[in-house]
Amino acid sequence: MNDPASPTPETQSVEFSIGFGDSSISARAVVPRGRTTITELLPVIHRLDSALVDAVAAQAVAEGRTISCKAGCGACCRSLVALSIFEAEALATWIQGLPEAQRQELARRFDLALRSLAAAGIIDRLVDLKPGDPQAEIELNTDLKRDYFYARVACPFLVDESCSIHPIRPLICREHLVVTPAENCYDPALHEVIKLEPPLLLFPVLNEMGARVERDGRGWIPLVFLFAWMEAGAHPGRRISGTGPEVLQAFVSRVGPA
C-alpha cells in the first residue's frame, strides 16, 4: 500500500506496518521532514484510508457484488457525521480560502441545516450530550442517529445529491460502503442495508486523539456545527506535532482492528 507521492528535499518516504489480529498491512507514505501537525498530515491519512477502502471494494466486486455508493446518491448524506476536530480544523482552513461568495453560500447552507434540525428537536439533544456519559453514548449510537437521519436534513456540502468536497471528505464518510440497492438506504428501518467494513477504521483513531487533546470532550463535533466551531478559531492540530515521521507514528500506533 503505497503513497503515490514522491519524496522531495522537504519530504521523506516512511515505511510502516499496522497489525490487526494475526495479519498486518505494510505501507509507505511520503511525509514532511520538518515540523508538522496531525491536521497537516490528514492528506496522508486520507490516502491510507482510501487504499484500505479501495481494497475492500475491489474484493467485493471480485465476489460479484456491486458497490451502490456513487455520485448522485446522497441518502447517507442525511446522517449524523462525527467530524474529528482535526478534520474540522482542515475544513475550516479550506473554507477560509474560498472566495467570499462561496463562503457566504456555505454559511447559508449550514444555517438552514441548523434551523431545520432545531425545528426537529435534534439540536437540543446534540448540545445536551455530555462527554464521557455512557448513557449519552448509547443514545448517540441508537435513537439520536436514527432521528437525525429521519429528519432528512442534507449535509450542507451536498450539491445535486453529490458531495461537493469529495476529495477532502471526512474519514467516516470515506469508510461508508454499501452493497445493497441504493434505494434501501433511504429507509434502513424497512429495508436491509449491508455495509462493507474495511479491516481497519481510521476515523475512531482521530476522534480518540482529539478527545485526549480536549481532555473534557469527545474529540469530534457534529459536522453541522462546523461554522459555529470555526468562530472559536481553534487549532487543535498544534497539540500533536513533530516531524512528519513522528506524527505519522503517533497516529499509526493507535490504529487497531475495526
Output the pLDDT for position 122.
Answer: 95
User: Which among 97, 75, 93, 79 has a CA at the least distance from the CA of 39?
Assistant: 93
Helix (H, G, I), strand (E, B) or coil at 242: strand
Is 122:91 a contact under the CB 8 Å cutoff? no
Local confidence pLDDT in tens for the 258 residues of the chain: 666 667 777 999 999 888 766 677 788 999 999 999 999 999 999 999 988 898 889 999 999 999 988 888 888 999 999 999 999 999 999 999 999 999 999 999 999 999 999 999 999 988 887 666 555 565 566 888 999 999 999 999 999 999 999 999 999 999 999 999 989 989 988 999 999 888 888 999 999 999 999 876 788 999 999 999 999 998 999 999 999 999 999 999 998 665
Contacts of 198 (CB under 8 A, 6+ apart): 49, 52, 53, 55, 56, 175, 258
Q: Partners of 162 in the beta sheet?
A: 159
Rounded CA separation 113/155 (Å)? 7
User: What's residue 116's pLDDT?
Assistant: 98
Return the pLDDT at 21: 65
What pLDDT, on the 0 to 100 scale, is given for residue 119? 97
Residues 6 or more apart whose Cβ sits within 8 Å of residue 172 = 81, 82, 83, 203
Ordered by start, the domain boundaries in the chain are 11-252
pLDDT at 139: 54
Query: With a threshold of 0.85, does the pTM exceed it?
Result: yes
